[in-house]
Amino acid sequence: MLFRVPARTAWQAAPKLTQLSRVTTRAPQWVRRYATPSMEQQDRTAIVTGSSRGIGKAIALRLARDGYDICVNDVQANQAGCEEVVKEIKGIGRNAFPFTADVSNRQEVQKMVEASVNELGPLNTMVANAGIAQVKPLLDLTEEDMKRMFEVNVYGLYNCYSTAAKQLIKQGNGGKILGAASIVAFKAFPFLAHYSASKWAVRGLTQAFAMDLATHKITVNAYAPGIVGTAMWDLIDEEVGKMTGHKKGETIKKYSGELIALGRTSVPEDVSSTVSFLCSPDSDYMTGQTIVIDGGIVFT
């Protein structure tokens, strides 16, 4: 049956209906609460693994300039480098201490997190930066090659993510967890098959942790450097050159010239600037992302 409403009746009811809709459709006012203290606060702490040199060192120094106190970590063989980074951080005016640990050993990671909390105070940020690379043709890889690559780059990252997460949940104030991926997490490189696979795993773990930890107000993201002027890329350049007949320095020069849109090899500070953003309140609404910093090799 068709009902007709007189125009006058509808006009008289309109103000009431409008008023009612304003009440029922009001958006909830969400309050943002994350454990990223402001620049003015003096109690921000971070653990940066693999930070005796290269990208890790640049990250540790940048976060110190951003107002963080830092636990500087690397393996025992790089202890001298850790102590030098600690000295530089203290020169900036922040607190720091060295802690040697192999991230592939969960007990050592647990002791590192405990030591950081005891030495610097509650943990705010974990940067799982430590990693290894190996240049080798795919069919020449041994079981030990695969095992060690995943022990450090995948299990080591998992140990850092999970141990830091438990500490942050215990503290109850949220926080930030970051991991080192790579452009090979998006497109594998020749002679870097197992390294590439390990970095794809980093992306997957980062997404999984982001989903599981979101209810605890913990964000989890990764950064993916490209061709960086570090000891790791010096090794890749040299080893790939042996297989392709290029002299030392020619491979990285070729890659930089042909692959990088911006036309230059990056430096560790290019990466640490992005990590600084991911550790700041400006990225509080980002989680589960892997951010590429490669000068324009991989476009996502």
Q: Hey, where are the domains in the chain?
A: 40-226+267-293
In terms of C-beta density within 10 A (0-12 exposed, 13-18 middle, 19 or more buried), how is residue 141 classed? Answer: middle
Query: Whole-angstrom Cα distance, residue 273 to residue 276?
Result: 5
Among residues 109, 214, 226, the alpha carbon closest in space to that of 156 is found at 109
The pLDDT mean for the chain works out to: 87
Q: What is the pLDDT of residue 251?
A: 65
Q: In terms of pLDDT, which residue wins out, 157 or 32?
A: 157
Q: How many CB atoms lie within 10 A of CB 166?
A: 12
Q: What is the pLDDT of residue 48?
A: 98
| Catalytic residue flag (residue 158) | no
DSSP single-letter state for residue 184: G
Q: What is the pLDDT of residue 27?
A: 46
Q: What is the pLDDT of residue 43?
A: 78
Q: Could you read off the pLDDT of 94-153 as tens digits, one per residue?
A: 999 999 999 999 999 999 999 999 999 999 999 999 999 998 999 999 999 999 999 999
Q: What is the pLDDT of residue 3?
A: 45
Residue 258: pLDDT band with limits 50, 70, 90: confident
Compute φ and ψ for 77, nearest 5 degrees. -65, -20
User: Does residue 85 carry a pLDDT above 90?
Assistant: yes
User: Does residue 216 carry a pLDDT above 80?
Assistant: yes
Q: Could you read off the pLDDT of 161-193 as tens digits, one per residue?
A: 999 999 999 999 999 999 999 999 999 988 899
DSSP 3-state assignment of 129?
A: coil
Vertex 251 angle, CA 247 and 255, to 5°? 160
CATH topology (fold) of 40-226+267-293: Rossmann fold (3.40.50)
Query: Whole-angstrom Cα distance, residue 248 to residue 16?
Result: 79
Q: Could you read off the pLDDT of 11-65 as tens digits, one per residue?
A: 444 444 444 444 444 444 445 555 555 555 557 999 999 999 999 999 999 999 9
Q: What is the pLDDT of residue 263?
A: 87
Q: What is the pLDDT of residue 33?
A: 53
Beta strands in the chain (DSSP E): 44-48, 68-74, 96-100, 125-128, 175-180, 218-225, 290-293
Per residue in 224-237, is it b (16+ CB within 10 Å) or e — as a string? bbbbbbbebbeebb
Which is the catalytic residue, given 161, 195, 223, 255?
195
Among residues 68, 66, 56, 46, the alpha carbon closest in space to that of 112 is found at 46
Query: Whole-angstrom Cα distance, residue 60 to residue 38?
Result: 18
